[in-house]
Structure 1
Amino acid sequence: MNYNRIDRTVETDRLLLRLFQPEDAYEVRDYCNNYNIYRSTLTLPYPYPLECAVSWMATHEQNFDLDRMYEFAITDKTSGQLYGAVGISNHQSYHNGELAYWIGEAHWGQGYGTEAARAVIEFVFTEKNYHRVYARHFASNPASGKIMQKCGMSYEGTLKDHIYKIDSYEDIVYYGIVNPEAQR
């Protein structure tokens, strides 16, 4: 992982994580206006109009500047193709944050989510001095849990029937990782 403080980008072997740009709004709308993404995310609306993409992206730069949250577009390092998003909250008083991500369905199964999530975890451990990162997923979306495992996160528990979505209850599965460089 290579972090550039000036343009706030994170570079990996295949990816460039960068702030979203206004011109990304149409692709974000197209990716997120997908029932399969909606059913596996906690707060994404469906249908997902362009206005949702624009208003969501409008907060990113200020949140980054104020160290509230770091949200990145996941893009191909060479072509610039947008694949999805990865973000992490900053609970400064607790020295931790919650990791979240989504990948456009056309790009599932290619390792982009894992590569981006690993890079963001490394970014907050090395650049922002987090002590811990955690993430959660619906039990009905085990692929998201596999990403968490591949990032070195450990299973921490399941909240049974914790969320009511699409006329049924969902278990929420938690994973976490402590910064290996953290002083106790």
Structure 2
Amino acid sequence: MNTQAHLPSLVNAKNILNDPSSSGFTVLETLVIIIIVGILAAVGIPNWMTFVATRRLNTAQNEVYHAMRQAQTQATKDKLTWQASFREQNGIVQWAVHPATVNPSNANWNNLDANVRLDSETNFQASLSSVQEVRFDYRGNAKDLGRITLSSKSGGKAKRCVIVSTILGAMRTAKEHTRADDAKYCY
């Protein structure tokens, strides 16, 4: 075996490792990359936070809608008046579905996302314990018309509503509008 033949390639490898022009990124290149990443983060993070807040509102809106539908379904199934109840307890919006004869404080409460709040546009009748109540009679007809409006605790203009619009119990969902209608943005 001839070790002399491998010697020039080892010498070239050693010279390349010692050459400062080929040893990696310069300080200037590293700073440019850091600045570019910083600019992209400054532009992208607020958009990402808005996206996350909107997703949370959409999820909470779906939970509220399904709670109301569950109360309506149970009312027709059991031939009794059922209700969906909503409250804010310790900064957390909660919901419960139960017969109207059950005191809401004894109901099984479920939490919505901690970053969601009941908006001031919510206009269902509130009981003495500030529980918003949506009741359905034995035929599934709504005894109360109105809306549950949710917004983000972190602010922003995003709102999500679940609206009981007819006494027959028709429900729909809505989101914020850019113009108010009778001082309401979620209609």
Q: TM-score interval w.r.t. the shorter chain?
A: under 0.3
Larger Rg: 2
Greater strand share, structure number: 1
Higher helix share: 2
Report the TM-score when normalising by structure 2.
Answer: 0.26
